[in-house]
Amino acid sequence: MTAAHRPTAPDDDVLTVEDLWVTFKGGRRRPWSARTLVPAVSGASLFLAQGRTLGLVGESGSGKTTLGRAVLRLITPDRGAITAAGFQLDRFRGGAPLEYRRAVQAVFQDPLGSLDPLMEVRQILDEPLRIHFDLDSRQRQARVRELLEMVGLSAAHLTRYPYELSGGQRQRVAIAKALAVDPRLIVLDEPVSALDVSVQSQIVNLLDDIRRDRGISYLFIAHDLALVRHACHDVAVMYRGRIMESGPADRVCGAPRHPYTRLLFDAVPEPVPRAMRPPRPARRFDAPLPDVGTGPTPAGCPFFHRCPLRTQACATAFPAPTAVPGGGQIACFAADRALAGGPSSTVSALSR
Amino acid sequence: MRTVFVRLLTIIPLVLLVVSGTFFLSLASNVDPAEIILGGNATQEQIDQLRHEKGLDQPALERYGEWLGGVVRGDLGTSIYTGASVTDLFMAALPVTLSLTVGGLLVGVLLGVGLGLLASVVAGSRLDRGVILLSTVGQAAPSFFIGMLIIYFLALKMAWFPATGYVRPSASFGGWLHSLILPSLALGVGVAAALARQARSSMIIALQQDYTRTALSKGHSRRRVVFKHAARNAASPVVTSVSFQVAHLLGGAIVIERLFALPGLGSLTIDAVLRYDPNVIQAVVLFAVVVVVLVNLLVDVSYTWLNPKVRAA
Amino acid sequence: MSETISGTAQSPAGRGRRPGSGRLVGRVLRQRALVAWGAIVGVIVLAVTFAALLSPYDPNTGTLADSFAPPSWEHWLGADRNGRDVLTRLLYGGQVALLAAVEAVGIAMAVGVPAGLVIGYVGGWLDRILMRLVDGVMSVPFLVLAIAVIAAVGRGLPNAMAVVGLVYAMSVLRLVRGEVLAAREELYVDGLRVSGAGARRILFRHILANIAPPIIVQATLMFATAIIAEATLSYLGLGVTQPTASWGSMLAEAQATIRQNFFLAVPPGMAIFITVLGINQIGEGMRDLFSREITVGRLGLNVVRRAEPERAVSEPVPSALPERPVALEVRNLSVSFPQHGHGRVEVVRGVDLRLHRGELLCLVGESGSGKSVTAMSMLGLVAHPGLVTASSIRLADQEISGLDFAAMRAIRGNRIGVVFQDPLGSLNPTFTVGNQVCEAIREHRDVSRRQARALAIDLFDRVGIPNPAQRFHDYPFQFSGGMAQRVMIAMALSCDPEVLVADEPTTALDVTVQKQILRLLSDLRDERGLAILLITHDLGVVAEVADTVATMYAGQLVEYGPVAEVFAQPRHPYTQGLLDSVPRNEASNGPLASIRGVVPAPVDWPIGCHFADRCDFVEEPCRHSPVPLTGLGESGRAARCVRAGELRLHGISRDRLDTHAGVPSAAGSGTTP
């Protein structure tokens, strides 16, 4: 995202990602040949202002989790600059310093797997306090109780083990653990995907309350688009390692412009029965995709093989972002055609 | 095929490493064969002269090079004690050990995998508990004790089988088989016990997988689900277990040969240790390593057949 | 005692170790066998330790006059060839065995555990080099290696057991390294790194504690093996030196005189046997203790039984689609499992369902609702020790409850097809997809291989798999999730069944792929008049493809009816709560609605309405007695609610239909978090 398109000044940003590249090394075909490279994140850029929530959505293989892990410094990127909570990550040698671990925290998807199964809740919450602060035992106990209250649990939960709690309760413990060090930024990697729908809302509401109270910013990684629209101020949509579209959540979710985003939103089933929906023109799009003379290359747009607006340029290069009226950007060579569509688009030959 | 070749190449350094290790280990030992041969009353002069005769006073690397060169040519040196060619001793003893090992493997695999499979299908029943009990007992009793019991009941009391001794197949094929039955049984029981456990647990895991549920949902018979769908998937860990057992068998053969007085590599080795005859020991170690490593290779090759994902890689 | 699977890698999440020392002691005592064997081994250890006190004889000298004396008052187990008391030698031999094992296992742990921890966590070139070395050493059979090294370092038991210890150290190292590698990948380690925990804290406080159980078990089993190793080496003459007593050397001596006196072999042999057996059992018992108990079931032997007639049975609900023939009808289906301390616990209670030809019924519920178990139990696919009962399960005109395994085989795959949630896990990885589909066809149809192949390729084409003839020969791992699910659908339809049961078929798939699969299923319903029972937790899926919807909560069916009607005006507060909780693609307007509280566990189901504690409309009569499923007159609607007739729930309200307006909608009266 370029500076021209940002509603807030750079100094207010708690997270800036510039041109991030992460590749994983796969196996070797022969013992002497080089390892195959698997690109996970390709040239992603985004920013998050203090006190706001940025949603990062994509399907499997989009690279959103990898990006989150790079911000958490659980993996090291190949290129690109990440600045989070005032720290420049490329200055880190090896692991992250302790101060960084205070400023940037995480909540993971699987609440059972992400907590040490042999520790009681109070030990789980006590540990970050021991690592980061110089408090005596009584002060730590008080703080642990405070944290429990903050996430809606009671003192009775102190002596429970993770496997004795429900999914929602475990996730509350994980959130309390993240809050223990009073961070500025929390990376949430699919925090509610493993929970029942009725519990998801509880957790999302809790996160929002906490954010308002404490001014924490969230990087909210998810695949549920409707949820992200509710939970986030801004959204970035990823596909196969690239950021395809970004902008205010209401704009991106309400009026998606990039062909991939539109495909995505079109595919999400709304909980409204067909009989109750407003009439929409039938969208049986079996129209063949345009033949532009070349096949896709690794340097080109990853959506090439499914995109109805593709051009020859799309095969060989990835476009720079174009601004979208209403907020945000899309990365599309056919931006003019994409933007010409309008909000409730009936652009023909949109793929299924 | 290419992978097999590549693996063979990587095996050679491994074998070399292990065998060289033993060689230098024996050199580093402060046991002096010359002293042992001559006994406690020998003078230093006599000892030194014997050492010179046997070539024990040559520098280490020279001895190593000589020995290695010999191995490549097929000459495994000479027994320091008797002066006989180690290769000859080796070749005479090898068939005995091989017959015994194969016999033990057959008993172990047939009995063990068979019982394990059976137990997994009727898991939780009395039959299953019986198999588990048998397997526990088989693993707890040392093979030579089991052997003694077998000798007592089947050879001494019943006189169905010979208690000791080995009959060469060239002399009498029937006699050869007959003389191998008890030793194979004694050797194979422990192997069967371990394989039964492994087969049972691998099968139980396979039977709890989603693809077993799918197979049932298609309306297949129990036999098909067990033998076609589950067994193929349970095979890999069992095959790995078998390869471990082969290593075990080679060691166990040493003990069983002692018990049944079979003139195999085991007896050769024990004598070599008691009399301190390093060339023989090295030859045996070399043999053991080569066998184990070849078996591992076979196992890896079988994986490609059993597991299509490996094949494609 | 239920049997656990040996050799399974246990995930830390499955371990309930150390849940308070009180609970652990309780579990230990429950494992009576463990306690018994512990006592036996304890007695042996004590007897052996106090050998000098227990026996007046010297183990190494004897009077020749007593040679081969039979068991008597002077010599309880008789005397050996040299007149030495056998029992005394047995006790002292035990000392040798135990000390030798302690030495070997001690060395193995002292060397192997730290090395394994460091190598496993640090990895890198150190790991690569050392593991090559370890592989090399371990490629020599244990006994051969031990003998070779003993030959070099000289005989004598302490040397021998040191060698044994070092060889064992290699396998301990391997085990520890493997466990650390696995533990390192666990998510909680990421959580610890993010918390700021350093490598040392993670390794020693967390990983070590989590992997300690298998290491302890291994050490115990290794102890037993060490005893056998000592016995073997002493038997071969490479362990103890004459005249020291060792169980192994006693066996060697007994062998020499086996023809005259077999009995001499029995005491040492049995001593080894019992000690090793006892220690093995303790090790296995500990392994059971530390891991989750997996009760092993019999293969697909779980038929549906006819329910006892005394059970309260609701009146049948009128059909929602009376003009179509009934494909499947289920009355009063219940499933129960035994739970420790609570006897048999029901997880599904009294479910009634009716499915017509050409109808797609969605069974909706969250976790704990019992929806999957319901579907699986109808087909007899619920594992032992689950107990399934039903008053009736009719497939068209045939009653299929009460059928045995052989009779159900003709139904499964033939008249009812099943599609499962995880397509890649549900296909057998070792066979080609073509093989598996043809197998399904040939199970129920008398066709040749060639004909089956043609049919299969046709099916692949119909379900939208490109290049079907080529893909026929591919293995499951070569398919993406969506394509694999198409294969499963093809397989389920291969014999043209009347009913298709799909258990969360799209949950594991991306949303764009999900849409295609759902479209495929609805097309198949239209083409073939297929009756589809689709289980899901996603209301969007329900809205997309369902004709009728049934909501399940805590083991019971709580609402049923045509989907448009149920969504427009639900009759059960839970359905309303679900509809409110689902986030929709519309401008955010305050906090998301949710349902307060949690689903009760089956043991905690109340007498009355299961939803009472979480319901906004609860009143006294709701909790009083079991609530029946009552028909609501119109078009097959039914609800399990005392107040169904009087509640006016708003469903998916009208203003919320305009998904693009961005106009704030009047927030519903939904429940608060």
Quickly list DSSP for B278-307. HHHHHHHHHHHHHHHHHHHHHHHHHHHHH-
Tokens 């193929």: give the residue: B232
In this predicted structure, what is the pLDDT of residue A280? 64
Domain ranges, ordered by start, for chain C: 1-19+300-415+498-673, 32-59+82-291, 423-496
Give chain C positions within 8 Å (CB) of B201: 5-8
DSSP string, B148-177: HHHIIIIIIIS-SS-SS----TTT-HHHHH
For chain C, positions 586-645, list CB contacts with chain A under 8 A: 586-588, 591-596, 598-599
Do C151 and B198 count as a contact with CB atoms less than 8 A apart? no
Q: Please give the model's pTM, rounded to 2 decimal places.
A: 0.84
Compare CB distances from B123 to C3, C232, C429 and report the shortest one's residue: C3
Question: Is the pLDDT at A282 greater than 60, yes or no?
Answer: no
**Angle, vertex CA C74, rays to CA C72 and CA C75, nearest 5:** 65
In this predicted structure, what is the pLDDT of residue A30? 60
- Phi and psi angles of residue B154, each rounded to the nearest 5 degrees, phi first: -95, -25
In this predicted structure, what is the pLDDT of residue B189? 93
Give chain B positions within 8 Å (CB) of C151: 26, 29, 31, 272-273, 276, 278, 281
Alpha-carbon distance A225 to A210, whole Å?
A: 22
Interface test with B, best of C130, C404, C430 (most B CBs within 10 A): C430
**Measuring CA to CA, which residue among C71, C99, C40 is closest to residue C246?**
C99
In this predicted structure, what is the pLDDT of residue C359? 93
Compare CB distances from A161 to C19, C193, C543 and report the shortest one's residue: C19
CA C107 to chain centre: 35
Give chain A positions within 8 Å (CB) of C196: 98, 101-102, 128, 131-132, 181
Give chain C positions within 8 Å (CB) of B154: none
Do C141 and B248 count as a contact with CB atoms less than 8 A apart? yes
- For the ranges B30-39, B70-79, B201-210, the maximum mean pLDDT occurs at B201-210
Do B140 and C280 count as a contact with CB atoms less than 8 A apart? yes
In this predicted structure, what is the pLDDT of residue C28? 63
Do C425 and B209 count as a contact with CB atoms less than 8 A apart? yes
> In whole numbers, what is the pLDDT of chain C averaged over residues?
83
The sign one gets for the Cα dihedral B10, B13, B15, B17 is: negative
Pairing of strands A322-323, A242-248: unpaired
**Residues with Cβ < 8 Å from C584, sequence gap 6 or more?**
A226, A270, A271, A272, C656, C659
Please compute, for residue B252, the number of CA atoms within 13 A of its CA located in the half-sphere on the CB side: 31
Structure confidence at residue C657 as a pLDDT band (50, 70, 90): very low
DSSP string, C561-617: EEHHHHHHS-SSHHHHHHHHHS--SS---SSPP---S-PPPGGG--SS-TTGGG-TT
Structure confidence at residue C589 as a pLDDT band (50, 70, 90): confident
Structure confidence at residue A349 as a pLDDT band (50, 70, 90): very low
Domain ranges, ordered by start, for chain A: 13-27+35-117+183-270+297-339
In this predicted structure, what is the pLDDT of residue A32? 63
In this predicted structure, what is the pLDDT of residue C314? 57
Q: For residue B97, what are the CA distances in angstroms to B252, C138, C591, C593?
A: 10, 21, 78, 76
Question: Is the pLDDT at C2 greater than 70, yes or no?
Answer: no
In this predicted structure, what is the pLDDT of residue C384? 74
Are C481 and C424 in contact, with CB atoms under 8 Å apart?
A: yes
Q: Which helix (H) or strand (E) holds C111?
A: helix C86-122
A64 Rama sector, left if φ>0, alpha if ψ -120 to 50, beta otherwise: alpha
Q: Which CATH class is domain C32-59+82-291?
A: mainly alpha
Structure confidence at residue A8 as a pLDDT band (50, 70, 90): low
Alpha-carbon distance B141 to C265, whole Å?
A: 13
Question: Is the pLDDT at C310 greater than 50, yes or no?
Answer: no
Mean pLDDT confidence for B255-271: 88
Mean pLDDT confidence for B242-257: 88
Q: Does C180 touch chain A (CB under 8 A)?
A: no
3 state DSSP class of C405: helix
In this predicted structure, what is the pLDDT of residue C381? 84
A220-234, A302-316, C514-528: range with lowest mean pLDDT: A302-316
DSSP string, C486-533: HHHHHHHHTT--SEEEEESTTTTS-HHHHHHHHHHHHHHHHHHT-EEE
Shortest Cα–Cα distance, C466 to chain A (Å): 15
Do B225 and C143 count as a contact with CB atoms less than 8 A apart? no
Give chain B positions within 8 Å (CB) of C496: none
Structure confidence at residue A114 as a pLDDT band (50, 70, 90): confident
In this predicted structure, what is the pLDDT of residue B91? 85
Question: Is the pLDDT at C99 greater than 70, yes or no?
Answer: yes
Alpha-carbon distance A338 to A315, whole Å?
A: 17
In this predicted structure, what is the pLDDT of residue A67? 95
In this predicted structure, what is the pLDDT of residue C149? 80
Alpha-carbon distance A114 to C266, whole Å?
A: 55
In this predicted structure, what is the pLDDT of residue A315? 85
A177-186, B129-138, B155-164: range with lowest mean pLDDT: B155-164
Mean pLDDT confidence for B293-309: 80
In this predicted structure, what is the pLDDT of residue A346? 34
List the single residue in C with minimal CA-CA distance to B211: C426
Do C272 and B145 count as a contact with CB atoms less than 8 A apart? yes
Check: complex ipTM more than 0.95: no
Question: How much of chain C exceeds pLDDT 90, in percent?
Answer: 36
pLDDT in tens, B166-201: 878 788 888 888 888 889 999 999 999 999 999 998
Question: How much of chain A exceeds pLDDT 90, in percent?
Answer: 45
Determine the number of helices (DSSP H) and then strands (DSSP E) in chain A: 11, 12
Structure confidence at residue C441 as a pLDDT band (50, 70, 90): very high
- Look up residue B221 and give its two tokens: 């018979």
Domains of chain B listed by start with CATH number: 86-312 (1.10.3720.10)
CATH number given to C1-19+300-415+498-673: 3.40.50.300
List the single residue in C with minimal CA-CA distance to B29: C152
Structure confidence at residue C309 as a pLDDT band (50, 70, 90): low
- Cite the beta strand spans of chain A per DSSP E: 13-28, 35-49, 53-57, 79-84, 87-88, 104-107, 185-189, 217-222, 234-239, 242-248, 322-323, 329-330
For chain C, positions 292-351, list CB contacts with chain B under 8 A: 294-300
Alpha-carbon distance C279 to B140, whole Å?
A: 9
Do C296 and B284 count as a contact with CB atoms less than 8 A apart? no
CATH number given to A13-27+35-117+183-270+297-339: 3.40.50.300
Do C540 and A255 count as a contact with CB atoms less than 8 A apart? no
Q: What length does chain A have?
A: 352
Do B145 and C413 count as a contact with CB atoms less than 8 A apart? no
Question: Is the pLDDT at C268 greater than 50, yes or no?
Answer: yes
Question: How much of chain B exceeds pLDDT 90, in percent?
Answer: 16
Compare CB distances from A74 to C193, C546, C596 and report the shortest one's residue: C193
Mean pLDDT confidence for A40-59: 92
The sign one gets for the Cα dihedral C387, C391, C396, C401 is: positive
Question: Is the pLDDT at C515 greater than 70, yes or no?
Answer: yes
- For the ranges A88-92, A111-115, C61-65, the maximum mean pLDDT occurs at A88-92
- For the ranges A4-8, A38-42, C7-11, C70-74, the maximum mean pLDDT occurs at A38-42
Structure confidence at residue B3 as a pLDDT band (50, 70, 90): low
Are C429 and C368 in contact, with CB atoms under 8 Å apart?
A: no
Query: Which chains, if any, share at least 3 CB pairs under 8 A with chain C?
Result: A, B
Compare CB distances from B306 to C8, C420, C430 and report the shortest one's residue: C430
List the single residue in C with minimal CA-CA distance to A110: C187
In this predicted structure, what is the pLDDT of residue B248? 84
Mean pLDDT confidence for A61-76: 92
Q: What length does chain B have?
A: 313
In this predicted structure, what is the pLDDT of residue C663? 31
In this predicted structure, what is the pLDDT of residue A352? 28
Structure confidence at residue A71 as a pLDDT band (50, 70, 90): very high
Are C183 and C189 in contact, with CB atoms under 8 Å apart?
A: yes
Interface test with C, best of B14, B156, B211, B244 (most C CBs within 10 A): B211
- For the ranges B200-214, B284-298, C7-21, the maximum mean pLDDT occurs at B200-214
**Measuring CA to CA, which residue among B135, B202, B112 is closest to residue C280?**
B135
In this predicted structure, what is the pLDDT of residue C302? 64
pLDDT in tens, B151-166: 888 888 787 887 788 8
pLDDT in tens, C356-386: 999 999 999 988 888 989 988 888 888 777 8
List the single residue in B with minimal CA-CA distance to C151: B273
In this predicted structure, what is the pLDDT of residue C135? 80
In this predicted structure, what is the pLDDT of residue A337? 77
Mean pLDDT confidence for A146-167: 89
- Look up residue B100 and give its two tokens: 């015994």
Instruction: Tell me the sheet residues that pair with C434.
Output: none
Instruction: Tell me the sheet residues that pair with A41.
Output: A22
For chain B, positions 220-279, list CB contacts with chain C under 8 A: 220-222, 225-226, 229, 232-233, 237, 247-252, 254-255, 258-259, 269-270, 272-274, 276, 278
Give the largest Cα separation in chain A, rounded.
72
The sign one gets for the Cα dihedral B164, B168, B169, B171 is: negative
Do A197 and C539 count as a contact with CB atoms less than 8 A apart? yes
Are B96 and B166 in contact, with CB atoms under 8 Å apart?
A: yes
3 state DSSP class of C354: strand
Structure confidence at residue A277 as a pLDDT band (50, 70, 90): confident
List the single residue in C with minimal CA-CA distance to B21: C137
- Look up residue C661 and give its two tokens: 């307006």
Alpha-carbon distance C104 to C221, whole Å?
A: 12
